[in-house]
Amino acid sequence: MKIMVIQGPNINMLGLRETAIYGPMKMEEIHEQMKLAASQNNVEIEFFQSNYEGEIVDKIQECLGVFDGIIINAAAYTHTSVAIRDAIASVNLPAIEVHISNVYRREEFRQKSLIAPVCAGTVTGFGAFSYHLALMGIIQICDHIKKIQSKA
Ligand code: DQA
């Protein structure tokens, strides 16, 4: 099983950025923890971060035929990007939307996700642990899909 983790704009600033909201962990530290959890579950995992919408669209498209599932924190693009939403819908791979903060208790503009309707699920508000929960969730979903495909 191969999982792609896509990090959107300013996620590379974790650890420095608004730590009262996003906590002290750096993105690289989150990735190290995810790598460990992935290897314990026999899962291959790769990471990609970009501050550019088009690069995120390209990366989602590249996942087709290579990865079984996507974990994505589209960050601010969550609330604005029809292009990222369409890319997720196009590849038709299971995706989990992740947020460190609980976007539903923040500003009104963060309470709308354009990508939620094309994702299998959303994890929001658990701090850096949101990524771990998303990883466990996508493994479950991909396992389920593989079982169904092997019976067909
Ligand atoms: C975020 C929430 C977004 O509203 C914000 O723009 C981010 C981070 C989160 O992980 O809590 O950059 O996606």
pLDDT of residue 85: 98
Could you confirm whether 99 is annotated as catalytic?
yes
Give tens-digit pLDDT for 64-111: 999 999 999 999 999 999 999 999 999 999 999 999 999 999 999 999
DSSP secondary structure code for residue 7 in this structure: E
The CA distances from residue 13 to 33, 92, 100, in Å, are 17, 30, 13
Q: How far is the CA of 111 from the centre of ligand 1 (A)?
A: 11
pLDDT of residue 55: 98
Sign of CA dihedral 101, 9, 70, 84: positive
Active-site residue among 31, 77, 99, 131? 99
Residue 134 has pLDDT above 90, yes or no: yes
Within 6 A (CB) of ligand 1 lie 10, 73, 75-76, 78, 99-101, 103, 110
Could you confirm whether 131 is annotated as catalytic?
no
Residue 152 has pLDDT above 90, yes or no: no
Query: How many angstroms separate the CA atoms of 68 and 127, rounded?
Result: 25
Q: How many residues does the chain have?
A: 152
The answer to whether the pTM exceeds 0.95 is yes
Q: Is 101 annotated as a binding residue?
A: yes
Q: Is 88 annotated as a binding residue?
A: no
pLDDT of residue 25: 98
Give tens-digit pLDDT for 14-48: 999 999 999 999 999 999 999 999 999 999 999 99
Structural domains of the chain ordered from first start: 2-150 (3.40.50.9100)
Tell me the average pLDDT across 43-71.
98
Pairing state of beta strands 2-7 and 121-124? unpaired
pLDDT of residue 78: 98
User: Tokens 């791979």, residue?
Assistant: 93
